[in-house]
């Protein structure tokens, strides 16, 4: 029997939470509130370990290869990812407050806050910033020293973390999200949040189209090719990513269509697999939009310096995302908690919303990889041409 995917299970959990929150007695709801307290403590304990286990080997992997082409690709991918986050932030600050204020909050009178039957505290071994700094220092150190023992140890630790996410966190997420929406429905908050995020999702869909358009306009302008033709050639990769929700699974199609856009075999074979790991403009845009919405709903600080800090760090953390279920939002848990101050309930909302739109973000990521490959191919050819001309000039002078 075919296994039911994570997205259908989360959608079912949300719907059941919305329905059961109106009929279950308080005693039963407190059971799920208790489970959520324990699970959120476990998740909070894991966040620093997730950062160290995923980010450290990812940085070590990227730094393993040296060369101008690598630096160019990483720099452009990082810049475009940050640009997508800033586009999402400025769009959100201009539009989201009106959407949220226009939707009245519906609450139930005299409903006390639900408390768990017991509390379990599992303090993390490191705070988020300490984990991030540790990951950068160790990852860069491994990349420069090429220490085989440390490298093997952290790659094995990554496997442990990935299995913990896949076998413990992901299977329990639907139950955790069910408990969140169950308690929110009981106290009358769920309707407001569902309606608000329904509007936000529409804007996110438009933004991911805007990102693809500007990426291919730049690529077409530099390469002197028709941007629309370049984008249309990448549609098979876009549709494959929509169906698989996986950048890695889409690499063969992305590679084929990138070559169809005239990118050399050497550049396409280098850029496409690398960008599948480091170029995450669609994921950045989605997370930034959803995080800004949660900040507006919860009255949390959301000015430009805070979100710029969040976006810059998130763009680095997300290099650990591919290959992990819901990897981008899992990598974002650390910056969300440490920079934006999200509590476990806000993090659960972010996870549910991100996974509900996961395929569109992945499609935006992989399609944009094709645009980036066109840009890098053009810059690489220009650099090679300049080097050849300089070498010829030197020969003439020497002669």
pLDDT for the residue numbered 123 = 85
pLDDT for the residue numbered 228 = 92
Residue 110 or 173, more confident: 173
- Nearest-angstrom CA–CA distance, 361 and 321: 12
Confidence of residue 231 (pLDDT cuts 50, 70, 90): very high
Q: What is the pLDDT of residues 160-169, one digit of tens each?
A: 988 887 788 8
- Given a contact cutoff of 8 angstroms between Cβ atoms, the answer to whether 46 and 157 are in contact is no
Whose structure tokens read 């220009």?
382
Confidence of residue 6 (pLDDT cuts 50, 70, 90): low
Q: What is the pLDDT of residues 311-337, one digit of tens each?
A: 998 888 777 555 555 667 777 888 888
Q: What is the pLDDT of residues 179-220, one digit of tens each?
A: 878 887 887 766 767 777 778 888 888 998 999 999 999 999
pLDDT for the residue numbered 375 = 92
Q: CATH top-level class for 6-386?
A: mainly alpha
Residue 108 or 39, more confident: 39
Average pLDDT, the chain: 80
Q: Look at 30-34, 39-43, 290-294, 322-326 and tell me which has the smallest mean pLDDT.
A: 322-326
pLDDT for the residue numbered 347 = 82
What is the percent of the chain where pLDDT is above 70? 83
Residue 32 or 57, more confident: 32
User: Which of 50-64, 70-84, 270-284 holds the top average pLDDT?
Assistant: 70-84
């Amino acid at each position: 029997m075919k296994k039911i995917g994570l997205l259908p299970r989360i959608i079912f959990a949300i719907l059941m939470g919305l329905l059961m929150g109106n009929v279950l007695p308080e005693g039963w709801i407190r059971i799920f509130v208790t489970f959520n307290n324990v699970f959120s403590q476990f998740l909070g304990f894991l966040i620093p370990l997730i950062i160290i286990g995923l980010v450290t080997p990812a940085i070590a992997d990227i730094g393993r290869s040296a060369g101008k082409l690598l630096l160019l690709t990483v720099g452009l991918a990082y810049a475009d990812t940050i640009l997508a986050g800033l586009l999402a932030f400025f769009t959100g600050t201009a539009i989201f407050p009106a959407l949220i204020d226009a939707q009245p909050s519906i609450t139930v009178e005299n409903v006390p806050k639900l408390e768990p039957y017991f509390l379990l505290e599992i303090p993390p071994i490191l705070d988020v910033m300490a984990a991030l700094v540790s990951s950068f220092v160790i990852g860069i150190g491994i990349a420069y020293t090429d220490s085989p023992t440390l490298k093997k140890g952290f790659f094995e630790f990554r496997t442990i973390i990935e299995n913990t996410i896949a076998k413990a966190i992901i299977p329990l997420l639907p139950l955790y999200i069910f408990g969140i929406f169950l308690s929110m429905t009981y106290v009358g908050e769920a309707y407001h949040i569902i309606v608000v995020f329904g509007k936000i999702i529409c804007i996110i869909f438009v933004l991911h189209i805007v990102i693809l358009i500007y990426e291919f306009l730049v690529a077409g302008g530099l390469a002197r090719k028709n941007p629309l033709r370049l984008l249309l050639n990448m549609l098979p990769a876009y549709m494959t990513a929509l169906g698989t929700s996986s950048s890695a699974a889409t690499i063969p199609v992305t590679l084929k269509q990138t070559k169809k856009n005239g990118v050399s075999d050497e550049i396409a074979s280098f850029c496409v697999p690398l960008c599948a790991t480091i170029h995450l403009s669609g994921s950045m845009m989605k997370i930034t939009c959803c995080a800004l919405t949660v900040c507006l709903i919860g009255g949390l600080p959301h000015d430009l310096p805070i979100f710029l800090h969040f976006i810059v760090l998130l763009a680095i953390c997300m290099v650990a995302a591919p290959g992990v279920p819901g990897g981008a939002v899992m990598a974002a848990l650390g910056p969300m908690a440490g920079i934006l101050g999200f509590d476990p309930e806000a993090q659960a909302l972010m996870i549910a919303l991100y996974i509900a739109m996961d395929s569109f973000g992945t499609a935006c990521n992989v399609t944009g990889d094709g645009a980036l490959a066109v840009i890098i191919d053009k810059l690489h050819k220009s650099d090679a041409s300049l080097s050849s001309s300089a070498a010829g000039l030197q020969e003439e002078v020497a002669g």
